[in-house]
Structure 1
Amino acid sequence: MQSELLASGEVEERAYFAQMAREVGVGFRENIDPRRLVFVDDEACVEMLGERDGVLAARYLDDAGQLTYLVAPNQPGWGSIARRDDREMKRRLKVVAPSALRAALIARSRRALTREAQGGLLASRPECSARDVVWPWQAYGLGMLTSLALISLALVPGLLFVLIHFLTVSFFIACSVLRAVAAIRLPKMASAPVSLPLSPDVPVYSVLVALYREAEVVPELLVALGKLQWPRSKLEIELVCEEDDTETIAAVNTLQLHPCVELVLVPPSLPRTKPKALAYALPLTRGQLVVLYDAEDRPHPMQLAEALQRFNEAGPELACLQAPLEVSNRRANMIANMFGFEYAALFRGLLPWLAHSRLMLPLGGTSNHFRREALQAVGGWDPYNVTEDADLGVRLARRGYRCETLQCATREDAPEDLATWHQQRVRWFKGWMQTWLVHMRQPRALARELSPATFAVTQILVVGMVLSSLLHALLLIMVAGLAIELASGFSFGLWQTPLLVLDLISIFLGYASFLLLGWVVLRPSDRKGFWKVVLFTPIYWVMLSGAAWCALVDLIRRPHHWAKTPHRRARAL
């Protein structure tokens, strides 16, 4: 088969197509000027790039201004050309290498791809776009709440104090109950498959990796992706780089790329975000299944095969499969240890329970496997949302799609320094705030499109986690204040003692549910040193609270700014 031969890398593409052109008696064109391609408009050019049968063709004005036809035939196409008796048609027909024609088509489509990446979701579903942080009625409501809080602080500070307590405690308890239920009712999970049979007629799988200032990790990334078990003729790996990121581009170009690997350059435009880059690259792919990875990821070799098996077993309502993320450097220090513990609780605990309960899944930012049809049906990624994964999880649920989890994990390294951890967590909190504000623009529509249980869980997961983090530091301050008053012999009123008890109970439940969920999902070998996690949890939660407040400020100052998290070489592949 031609596709297998070219994918093997044993045959040079240009030489193969030039020789085949001579065999069937037509000319071969090596250089293609994108400006001479003849299309009705740039959008038609984009459509050609997304052809699912793998055949690229285009009309072209040659150097003499004559209309010719460029084609990169598949295997059956050669026989069709050879059987043609029309000499004039054969004279006008020029065979080209697929990569050369594809590069010209991409160059011609730059403006159309950029327009769609920036404004596709905004044009099709403006109510789901985070370009505008808040709608007018939301701004009015937030302003009224702020004014009422300030007036209450001046006139009835005690009442405001009590209300903040109850608000904080309510969200703390709701989040704690969610974690506790997930820990107690965790579904029994099978072990990751060692191997899965792959038939020759598997679908094309598109792997998207957004890279920005990642020159250091590019070699390790390609080694990790090279271990994926999938027929190379049915695999396309797109390394998506910003066009002005010269260091990363140079790092990619110094390597000998496999024929299934392609470098996609995204023209500089606002917003400079990962989802905008992904939205730019998606039309350039043709896979029925699409997966995202980050630059530092090392996915399990059988992850694509497991995802295909799960998609085949389920109906079309299964839109996305989230692979668990595992931290490989937990032993580095306490920040990495807490990060890894938190990931274990989320990806091995909370998300599998949510999937088993058919509730909304807040996707992780990497290792998401999509049915292309479902991804396009909900509008793809929002370029203005800095946690496009959480937003996409809500939109999929609103359209009636389901998300589930895989067993084959993706390994990555956690941040080891406070600055990197803080920067990443600020972006996550800011994106969750964006997601809640976007989907609460029309609360009745959201409640109508989700089941009551899913609506409630969505509120707890998105606003509950953010608000409890914002208020955690305040809760600790209030508890400390009440404790100091009690220790100094100050006479408590009727409401102060119950509040202190309630605060202490809510804090205990929050810590306990977090630790319980993580403990349940940890492997026995990973439970060593668990006492350190217990002791560090209060400090870690204060760190989370600080990041949440910084995220709120960042949302107001620069809502669409993408805080880049630096990555370094992996400790082990």
Structure 2
Amino acid sequence: MIAELTGVSADEVLLKHGLIEETEFYRALATELRLPFLSAPRLSLDARYPESVLTGLAPLTNGSGFVMAPKGQTLARLLKGLRPAHALAITAPSLLSKAVFRTQSRMIAHRAAFELPYAAPTLSSFGGASIVQIAGATLIALVASFCGVAALDLATILLASILSPLFLCIIVLRLATSLLSNPLRAVAPQHHVSDAALPIYTIIVALYRERRIAPRLIAALKGLDYPAVKLDIKLVLEADDHDTQGALKALRLPGNIEIIVAPSGEPRTKPRALNVALPLARGHFTVVYDAEDIPDPAQLRLAVSTFARMPRDVACLQARLTIDNTDDSWLTRLFTIEYAALFDVFNPGLAEIGSPIPLGGTSNHFRTTILREIHGWDAWNVTEDADLGIRLARLGYCVADLPSSTLEEAPITPKAWMRQRTRWMKGFMQTSISHSRKPAEGWSQLGFWRFYAAVALTGGTALSALIYPFCTVLFVILWLSEKPLSTDATWNALWRTGSLTLFFSGMASLFIPALVALQRRRLWRLLPWVGLLPLYYVLVSIAAWQGLWELVTAPFQWNKTSHGHARSSRSGMLQKHHANVARTMSLKIAPP
């Protein structure tokens, strides 16, 4: 009955609902078919990845036949009397997957790291900066240094003239997106999609040293309002992460969750782990979550209905990220404001005006075929999300907003925050380098205005963070200084007016999106903290300089963010509030 209601086969219902353990089921099937059951099949080197896993069929070593993990119609045909070949053995799908990974581990690791660099080398961070880019940067640094010593005033004017258009673009985008209306919740669809009509949805979560957060992750995945038989959940772990593997084994995992252990290899990054799982995705759509995420239970259904209304070139939906542990520290409060401005105001506005969008690292919903077509994530970029957003735009695809929230845990301590932000800033620099190797090509793909926005959102973000404190100090010095920059009074007036306008419009672009975001999230209790944002961005500048250093010394080093340390929870407070309201209402209507 459940199979008919959800449009799947009965064996999938049995297994994904956990009504029977997978190995027991396939042992019984082997007995029924009078075939051997292999718990650790030894495969031939001709076994293919991902085809052998997806089809459930692989050749055994020494030409001794084939091993099969049948599902759906194939399984039904076998049970209906189709006589199987004698040189055939049965195994469980998870055991077959492990056998393929054992046999083809080197190839899998190589493909996850190098598919994009080989297919589109100019779009990957693998090669680093080109000779032309290095020579250009060196020449600019030399000229700037010479002018800074020989003619400081002239150097200041030239630098401001060159950088002002870049910063002006960021300012205009931030202020313009603040004027657009983007509610936190979507209008409910008029027609409810039946479970049978829903497509299979793949969820990929890359985990590393997440023993603390594993039970919460499984609870969040179980809480999704989507048919269990239509969920294809893949948890990707590193081979040396025995703690997380042990924590997951200790939990009673649903039958729709598959644990994939990524083969050892370089680089040790999240995008490489995601690339290991992508070829095995069975879903029409694929979403990426982080270990600490708590997505809105209806998010997948909303994504399906949103994709159905969107044109085919909309390849990705970016959900809204919001901080769960706001009250843990002063840093988490400022982080909450920053995330609210970014994901509730800035990114939805960019999507509405058709600008390229540097994606967030989680809650990105993709059309799986398009994600495979563009070769997945760049394993060599430590902000694979931002890179992927720009790459989608260059290849002719769009990103749309998904007004559904996902709760995230923010770093509590300055040290943890700095490690995370250093990685982010380094990744923005990597993205800028990889997408500026052939600027003429990027211009032709995006057009002038979208190319201008892409440069501002990647290179402009990193550059503004690097020079933010210096420009602020320089502005104050020049503004208070009585010494004119030129003997021409008209030029001095223009200079002061222009610098004053750019400075205060920049401050406005810092505060206005934050205030709009607080209004949308009903977080007015954080209003006193908004005044600290200029100081908060000094920390961002420090992280940018550390990121620049790492870009030279350790470009592919992944600064891991540890989770499971939150002391407060907005979601927990909300649940407690709802429980108190329900308790109060029950007391009011209780009979005397």
Cα distance change of structure 1 residues 415 and 497 upon mapping to structure 2, 3 Å threshold: farther
For the Cα contact (< 8 Å) 2:518–2:527, is it kept in 1? no
Cα distance change of structure 1 residues 66 and 546 upon mapping to structure 2, 3 Å threshold: closer
For the Cα contact (< 8 Å) 1:355–1:404, is it kept in 2? yes
Matches within 5 A, 1:360-439: 360-439=356-435
Task: Give the Cα separation in 2 of the matches to 1:425 and 1:482.
Answer: 31
For the Cα contact (< 8 Å) 1:198–1:305, is it kept in 2? no
AA partner of residue 73 (structure 1): P
For the Cα contact (< 8 Å) 2:484–2:492, is it kept in 1? no
Matches within 5 A, 1:152-551: 152-187=147-182, 190-191=185-186, 193=188, 197-482=193-478, 485-486=481-482, 493-494=486-487, 499-523=495-519, 526-551=522-547
Cα distance change of structure 1 residues 499 and 567 upon mapping to structure 2, 3 Å threshold: farther
Q: How high is the sequence identity, in percent, across the aligned residues?
A: 33
Structure 2 unaligned segments of length 5 or more: list them.
1-9, 572-592
Task: Give the Cα separation in 1 of the matches to 2:546 and 2:341.
Answer: 24
Deviation of 1:73 (Å): 2.1
Residue 81 of structure 1 is matched in structure 2 by 78
Residue 561 of structure 1 is matched in structure 2 by 557
Deviation of 1:394 (Å): 1.0
Cα distance change of structure 1 residues 192 and 186 upon mapping to structure 2, 3 Å threshold: closer
For the Cα contact (< 8 Å) 1:165–1:475, is it kept in 2? no
AA partner of residue 136 (structure 1): I
Deviation of 1:234 (Å): 1.8
Residue 59 of structure 1 is matched in structure 2 by 59
The C-alpha deviation readout for 1:374-399, integer Å capped at 9, x for no partner, is 11111110011011011111111111
Task: Give the Cα separation in 2 of the matches to 1:130 and 1:237.
Answer: 29
CA-based RMSD: 2.3
AA partner of residue 58 (structure 2): A
AA partner of residue 130 (structure 2): W
For the Cα contact (< 8 Å) 1:168–1:475, is it kept in 2? no
For the Cα contact (< 8 Å) 1:169–1:502, is it kept in 2? no
Which range is displaced more, 25-34 or 373-382? 25-34
Deviation of 1:185 (Å): 3.0
Using structure 2 for the length normalisation, give the TM-score: 0.88
Deviation of 1:512 (Å): 1.3
Cα distance change of structure 1 residues 536 and 260 upon mapping to structure 2, 3 Å threshold: same
Cα distance change of structure 1 residues 187 and 425 upon mapping to structure 2, 3 Å threshold: same
Deviation of 1:557 (Å): 1.4
Matches within 5 A, 1:24-63: 25-34=33-42, 37-40=43-46, 44-49=48-53, 51=54, 55-61=55-61
AA partner of residue 549 (structure 2): V
The C-alpha deviation readout for 1:237-292, integer Å capped at 9, x for no partner, is 21111111222222222212111112211233211111111112212322221111
Runs of 4+ in structure 1 deviating by more than 4 angstroms, as ranges, are 82-86, 187-190, 192-196, 490-501
Residue 6 of structure 1 is matched in structure 2 by 15
The question of 1:107 aligning with 2:111 is answered: no
Using structure 1 for the length normalisation, give the TM-score: 0.91
For the Cα contact (< 8 Å) 1:193–1:408, is it kept in 2? no
The C-alpha deviation readout for 1:208-238, integer Å capped at 9, x for no partner, is 1111121111111111111112222221221
Cα distance change of structure 1 residues 216 and 183 upon mapping to structure 2, 3 Å threshold: same
Cα distance change of structure 1 residues 539 and 498 upon mapping to structure 2, 3 Å threshold: farther
AA partner of residue 70 (structure 1): V
For the Cα contact (< 8 Å) 1:519–1:527, is it kept in 2? no
Deviation of 1:534 (Å): 3.5
Task: Give the Cα separation in 2 of the matches to 1:496 and 1:564.
Answer: 49
AA partner of residue 389 (structure 1): D
Task: Give the Cα separation in 1 of the matches to 2:341 and 2:13.
Answer: 42
For the Cα contact (< 8 Å) 2:359–2:385, is it kept in 1? yes
AA partner of residue 52 (structure 2): M
AA partner of residue 9 (structure 1): G
Structure 1 unaligned segments of length 5 or more: list them.
none
Residues paired across the two proteins, number: 556
Task: Give the Cα separation in 2 of the matches to 1:259 and 1:174.
Answer: 49
Task: Give the Cα separation in 1 of the matches to 2:446 and 2:526.
Answer: 38
- Work out which of the residue numbers 60, 69, 80 in structure 1 matches 2:66: 69
